[in-house]
Amino acid sequence: MGGSNFIMLIFLIALQFLDPCFALPLCTDSRAPFTPKAKLEFCSYNGTSCCDNADDLRLKKQFDSMNVSDSDCASLLKSILCARCDQFSAELFRVDSIPRPVPVLCNSTTSANSTQSSQATNNFCSKIWTTCQNVSVLNSPFSGSLQGKAGAPIVSNSTKLTDVWQSQKDFCDAFGGASDDESVCFNGEPVTLNSTGIPSPPSGMCLEKIGNGSYLNMVPHPDGSNRAFFSNQQGKIWLATIPNEDSGGTLEFDESNPFLDLTDEVHFDTQFGMMGIAFHPKFSENGRFFASFNCDKAKWPECGGRCACNSDVNCDPSKLGNDNGAQPCQYQTVIAEFTVNGSASQPSKATKAKPSEVRRIFTMGLPFTAHHGGQILFGPRDGYLYFMMGDGGGSGDPYNFSQNKKSLLGKVMRLDIDSSPSDTEVSRLGLWGNYSIPKDNPYTIDADLQKEIWALGLRNPWRCSFDSARPSYFMCADVGQDQYEEVDVITKYGNYGWRAYEGPYVYAPRTSPGGNTSVNSIRPIFPVMGYNHSDVNTNEGSASITGGYFSRSMADPCMYGRYLFADLYAGAIWAGTENPISSGNFTSNKINFTCASDSPLECTFSPGSSFPALSYIFSFGEDNKKNLYLLTNSGVYRIVHPSRCKYTCAKEKDTKVASPSPVSSPPSKANRLRGPYKSLLALLSLLCLLLVNFV
């Protein structure tokens, strides 16, 4: 192996263990920034901010209590307090998830951050020390140290920096941060990011067909191997082995011997079935996994649950009428827990699951026969279960469930399935099943919210994912009504507008027996990407978005870092590009794609077209190597090297090295490398220098 290829291999392996910093605009409480209704009078943050006028007033009172006599120091301290209003305040005030009393002060005089604007190259931390070191400051935010940094006491009544910190170095070791890694730092001004210009979209995307089945879900095996679980809408789950690219192989599994068969319990129809599967983060130890599906209480006694149309949300089921012949809440949405068969000490080796439920996590009756989402995902950082739920159906969400804070329809929910509540808690909290509520759910911000709710204002979220490189990027595609299909970055307490808005457009419902929500009464978070129905041509006469993933595979290096999504009916695929990086600002381009001539399974093409006939694009999938897949009505397709389809990607020749083999079991949390990039990258740089000289 050549020296450059070996270096690239080392780098790719290292990437799997990085816990990267991120700079997605988020407030310190993990909410998205917003535009205040009135200009802030104290803090000079105009436009998007993390402060409203009440926050601004509190910061002014805090500043006044400091009683700073020196005007130059006072100006600097005011800017530090007002950094709470910065749209990147979550990043500025946290290092390795440890809350900070002050933002990370820029402490680098070398080169500009590749992410942050070049204005951060001044040494702002040094400026604070030089200007304020001998100034008396009451209630100083600098009076305590940061958990053992520089050896200063945790609490101090001192009023001067020199009373606590022996030198500028000690002070800046505690409160400073370099501006030459992937994080942001504070230099006295609102954070801005470098724009490098929007790169040209890839020339095309190459696919190979490796399976003929039609699936809604693909989940990589938690043991890190080249196996994955596939589930279909009818209610079966299979465990399959994924072939290596260029091997000519196809998915290996026994179709007649599923991992789990729930077809007797699952109600299958156009918008019903098994909607989601999720495997516990510690599945390799405990064998626990979860299925989200729909059932018919008229056919299965264990299906029954409380109706989502109820007196708490001012909805009377008797007035809903029949929907496609079904009675209100005849059909239910269910999350159930299962476990594997086999040795308790080695659940990863199990090839079958026990067919009976371990416990029922959640059951809720559906008012109509559409828009009930159903995907479930475990959060990569917090380990909680996220449950995506649509507005329940009915044209234009007539009962306004999505904006109703007492309804779980049209929401993203966040559940703790590792803690079982008591019967008293279930009754007192009005829970819909056997789970607990994470203590930092948004009900702590808004008492009117049902405690399960993480985000609201969605019509029918269809396929969400966490970015494997930046877990703060929680992306959901939300299906539109008549005009617009959208992609949203989901944040804590985010309101995505439906039905006051459809995407960026104000929406006027045809009927509204459930009342209306004024556009001026909410702070909607608008889509970061999407498309109008007029942008696509479909045989169905409508459009329906399918969410995907950020590409983190080097199989197509020109696609790396872009977010892929598609239209269910049109067979069209888009790639979203963020610029500046970590800004949350995206542009999207429709991508050409075709099938490799040496695809393991032959691809069918529409007459006179170079595009493979995918039929419906139901979902995307990702394996343990971060390769991406399309789950379609015509089969399973993998994204492969663009040169196999004669697409040009200048980066491909530099990255064609052996892919790191999947590990036999995932590394434990304690063994994962954490913190900023720079320490590990410095080590890698040194290693690379050695390799250049000796390989």
Give pLDDT tens digits for 211-246.
Answer: 999 999 999 999 999 999 999 999 999 999 999 998
Residue 615 confidence (pLDDT) above 70: yes
Strand 105-106 relative to strand 176-177, pairing: parallel
Residue 485 confidence (pLDDT) above 90: yes
* pLDDT, mean over the chain: 86
Q: What is the pTM (predicted TM-score) of this model?
A: 0.89
Compute how many other C-beta atoms are within 10 angstroms of the C-beta atom of residue 421: 17
How far, in Å, CA of 610 to CA of 222, rounded? 37
* pLDDT mean over 99-105: 89
Residue 695 confidence (pLDDT) above 90: no
Give pLDDT tens digits for 293-320.
Answer: 999 999 999 998 999 999 999 999 998 8
How far, in Å, CA of 394 to CA of 372, rounded? 11
* pLDDT mean over 162-168: 90
Structure-token pair, residue 570:
């049109």
For residue 402, CA distances in Å to 305, 408, 455 come to: 20, 8, 10
Gyration radius of the chain over CA positions:
26
Q: Tell me what pLDDT residue 46 has.
A: 84
What are the start-end ranges of the H helices in 379-494?
423-429
Q: Tell me what pLDDT residue 196 has.
A: 72
- β-bridge partners, 176: 105
Residue 663 confidence (pLDDT) above 90: no
- 669, with CB counted inside 10 A (0-12, 13-18, 19+), is exposed
Is residue 106 classed as helix, strand or coil in its secondary structure?
A: strand
How far, in Å, CA of 172 to CA of 108, rounded? 10
How far, in Å, CA of 557 to CA of 559, rounded? 5
Structure-token pair, residue 205:
């995307």
Confidence of residue 587 (pLDDT cuts 50, 70, 90): very high
Q: Assign 3-class secondary structure to 600-647.
A: CECCCECCCCCCECCCCEEEEEECCCCCEEEEECCEEEEEECHHHHCC
How far, in Å, CA of 535 to CA of 532, rounded? 5
Higher pLDDT, 688 or 66: 66
Phi, psi of 476 (to 5 degrees): -135, 135
- β-bridge partners, 567: 545
Kindly give, in sequence order, each residue whose CB lies less than 8 Å from that of residue 440, ignoring residues fewer than 6 positions away. none
Higher pLDDT, 530 or 666: 530
- List the domains of the chain with CATH numbers: 20-177 (no CATH), 205-567+580-645 (2.120.10.30)
For residue 37, CA distances in Å to 40, 96, 487, 532 come to: 9, 33, 25, 29
The length of the chain is: 695
Confidence of residue 524 (pLDDT cuts 50, 70, 90): very high
Kindly give, in sequence order, each residue whose CB lies less than 8 Å from that of residue 386, ignoring residues fewer than 6 positions away. 376, 377, 378, 379, 412, 413, 414, 415, 454, 464, 474
Report the range of poorest mean pLDDT among 47-51, 400-404, 502-506, 563-567: 47-51
Contacts by residues 117-124 (CB-CB < 8 Å, ≥ 24 positions apart): 117/191, 117/192, 117/193, 117/194, 118/194, 119/187, 119/189, 119/192, 120/179, 120/184, 120/185, 120/187, 121/179, 122/187, 124/185, 124/186, 124/187, 124/188
Residue 14 confidence (pLDDT) above 50: no
Q: Tell me what pLDDT residue 127 has.
A: 96
Residue 8 confidence (pLDDT) above 80: no
- 589, with CB counted inside 10 A (0-12, 13-18, 19+), is middle
Residue 147 confidence (pLDDT) above 90: no
Q: State the number of CA atoms in the 13 A half-sphere of 588 facing the CB.
A: 22
Confidence of residue 654 (pLDDT cuts 50, 70, 90): low
Report the range of poorest mean pLDDT among 82-96, 147-161, 323-337, 591-605: 147-161
b/e per residue, 573-587, with b = 16+ CB within 10 A? bbbbbbebbbbbebe
| Residue tagged 């436009």 (tokens) | 47
* pLDDT mean over 623-651: 96
Kindly give, in sequence order, each residue whose CB lies less than 8 Å from that of residue 425, ignoring residues fewer than 6 positions away. 431, 436
For the four alpha carbons of 315, 317, 318 and 323, in that order, the dihedral sign comes to: positive
Give pLDDT tens digits for 372-427.
Answer: 999 999 999 999 999 999 999 999 999 999 999 999 999 999 999 999 888 888 88
Residue 95 confidence (pLDDT) above 60: no
| Residue tagged 């559409």 (tokens) | 370
How far, in Å, CA of 233 to CA of 269, rounded? 8
Structure-token pair, residue 613:
């006939």
* pLDDT mean over 139-155: 57
Residue 11 confidence (pLDDT) above 50: no
- 292, with CB counted inside 10 A (0-12, 13-18, 19+), is buried
What's CA 400's distance to the chain center, in Å?
Answer: 26
Give pLDDT tens digits for 57-85.
Answer: 999 999 999 999 999 999 999 999 999 99
Q: Tell me what pLDDT residue 195 has.
A: 77
* pLDDT mean over 429-438: 94
Residue 509 confidence (pLDDT) above 60: yes
Give pLDDT tens digits for 327-386.
Answer: 899 999 999 999 998 666 789 999 999 999 999 999 999 999 999 999 999 999 999 999
